[in-house]
Amino acid sequence: MTGGEFDLIGRLIGVGWRGSRQVLLGPGDDAAVLRGGIVLSTDVMVEGIHFRPGWITEAELGFRAVAAGLSDLAAMGAEPLAVLLSIVVPGRGEAAVAIQEGAAEAADRAGATVVGGDLSRSPGPVVVDVVSVGRTQRPVLRSGARPGQDVWLSGALGGAAWAVTSWEAGDVPEKEARHCFARPPDRTRLGIELGKGGLARAMIDVSDGLGADLGHVAAASNVGAVLRLPDVPVVPGLPGGLNRGLDGGEDYELLFAAESGSRGAIARLSAATDTPLHRIGQFVEGGGVQVRLADGRSLELEGGGFDHFTPRIVEG
């Protein structure tokens, strides 16, 4: 992985955590799991880092923040129960109401409800922190991938990053790109079904970028991964095509490992949940992520993905 945020998160995990008989799974996965199967995750969005003023409405911000938060539960195969929302806003705080309305809509879509939160004024940027609470008796971890298993991906990548690029260039994003950013997909049902049947052996949501998140799964599982770039689905019309899909980040699609014998079952689940599912690679012995290009060449993926603490270098 790249340095910066990932290193820092690694250090934080080391600091906070001590074993507890109340806790089945501590920090380091998409969410923590308490005894009894309660799944917990937080996801913070900061104005100026995750979005800029004027990109989306306040209601869309609330929606996006909660959709992103609940994506962590989907990646554990957990049923969402409740959401708590901490909102930090400048001025008189009126923005908080619209943020909360959007948040409630995203929670509703996934079958959860907003049960509380906190509110503060701030001299600085808007911050929305979403706490997602779910439940599963069988959490799907990042660490279950084994050599020979397929790499699967839901939906298509690159839409959110496409919108960001347009905004950053001073343009108005294409409608589809804006939609990807403002209304991330709800993969709740897919995640639950993948977990319930034991179909997904390892799972993560694509928030740091496909390359980085596949790297997280490979590292947690102590295996390597081969990614077939031409097989990675990207949103139609995406400029820059596959590379953008690889490192864009914040798509909130599900990336998972499954046995090759499960291909038929996964195709049926794709139809039943009306969700495109693509086989985009394979887990292998070793470590790291290898990317197979259309011309047959192979690249070792060094880093990539969205990292708030390290300047991003995108290689074309």
Q: In the range 75-114, which residues lie near a second copy by CB under 8 A? A: 81-88, 92-94, 96-97, 100-101, 103-104, 107-108, 113-114
Site for a second copy in 133-152 (CB under 8 A): 133
Q: Output 114 or 190, the one with its CB closest to a second copy.
A: 114
Q: Output 17 or 285, the one with its CB closest to a second copy.
A: 17
One character per residue 283-312, x = contact with a second copy (rule: CB under 8 A): -------------------------xx---
- Using CB under 8 A as the binding rule, whether residue 129 contacts a second copy is answered as yes
Number of residues that bind a second copy (CB under 8 A): 71
Q: Output 152 or 181, the one with its CB closest to a second copy.
A: 181
- Using CB under 8 A as the binding rule, whether residue 267 contacts a second copy is answered as no
CA trace torsion 205, 210, 215, 218 (10° rounding): 60
Using CB under 8 A, which of 53, 73, 74, 119 touches a second copy? 119
- Using CB under 8 A as the binding rule, whether residue 220 contacts a second copy is answered as no
Token digits for 266?
């996964």
Q: What CA–CA distance (Å, rounded) separates 303 from 311?
A: 12
CB of 279 to a second copy, least distance (A): 31
Site for a second copy in 7-46 (CB under 8 A): 8-9, 11-12, 15-20, 22-23, 25-27, 31-32, 34, 36, 38, 40-46
Q: Output 114 or 225, the one with its CB closest to a second copy.
A: 114
Token digits for 257?
């490992």
Q: Output 116 or 236, the one with its CB closest to a second copy.
A: 116
Q: Output 94 or 285, the one with its CB closest to a second copy.
A: 94
CB of 174 to a second copy, least distance (A): 27
